[in-house]
A = this chain, B = another copy of it.
Amino acid sequence: MRILYHHPLCPFSRLVRVVMAEKKLEFEPQIEKFWERRADFTALNAAGEVPVLVEEGGTVLADAVAIAEYLDEVHREPPLLPSDPLARAEVRRLVGWFGAKFFAEVTTNLVGEKVFKRLSAQHGEPDSRKIRAGFANIHEHLNYIGWLTERRAWLGGSAFTLADIAAAAQVSTIDYLGDVPWDNHPGAKDWYARVKSRPSFRVLLSDHLPGVPPPRHYADLDF
């Protein structure tokens, strides 16, 4: 069976896990403590990062977007990118937004400082300035999600796409910490409730990291 090396609180791993669940692809999940830079793992992915997908037969794929695009090309149903090139570009713009901008401005500041810095026991204590920056920055992104969903059914257009998965993969790691200010962002909350209620998302909602329990509302579909 194919193997996915991942980490429960890695947003890029989450993206691939949801894509595989949407497409009903079975895989054996392997939690990888990527910060330990295990030699057998860096031999699979020189970047030393999760997710890494090893297909039956041994083909190795790395980089969440590369894996997601590959799975969407090879396993077409349900499609996670639209067929029209301009519509695809809009989905990919948002995949880039959440993978780069949200990740740098929010996820690394909150999940990076609060969880991964502790797990990897590197670089000392969490940096309170970064945590404050993460809390400050998240509002712009939740506003943008709200703005988009006032104009469209889903983030990338009329259909659920990889844009929603990429966004929810990031947001869900912040929600695992209980750090999403949902009360101030009803539009984003409504969108996230709809993503959360998809069967593909259930696998993330049952994540439980030892020593870092999620808040009670995390797995609650009516949060």
The verdict on A153 contacting chain B, using a C-beta distance below 8 Å, is: no
Of A49, A88, A89, A144, most buried by chain B (CB within 10 Å of CB) is A89
Asked if A122 is at the interface (CB within 8 A of a chain B CB), the reply is no
Q: How many copies does the complex hold?
A: 2
Interface residues on A, range: 20 to 34
Least distance between A180 CB and chain B CB atoms (Å):
20
Flag if A89 contacts B101 (CB, 8 Å).
no
Contact with B along A64-87 (1 / 0, CB 8 A): 111101100110000000000110
Q: Which of A33-70 contact B (CB under 8 A)?
A: 46-47, 49, 59, 61-67, 69-70
CB pair A70–B96 under 8 Å, yes or no, is no
A178 to chain B, nearest CB (A): 27
- For A70, what are the chain B residues with a Cβ–Cβ distance below 8 Å? 85-86, 88-89, 92
Whether the Cβ atoms of A66 and B85 lie closer than 8 Å is no
The 7 closest A-B pairs by CB, nearest first: A66-B92, A63-B96, A70-B89, A63-B93, A66-B93, A73-B85, A66-B89
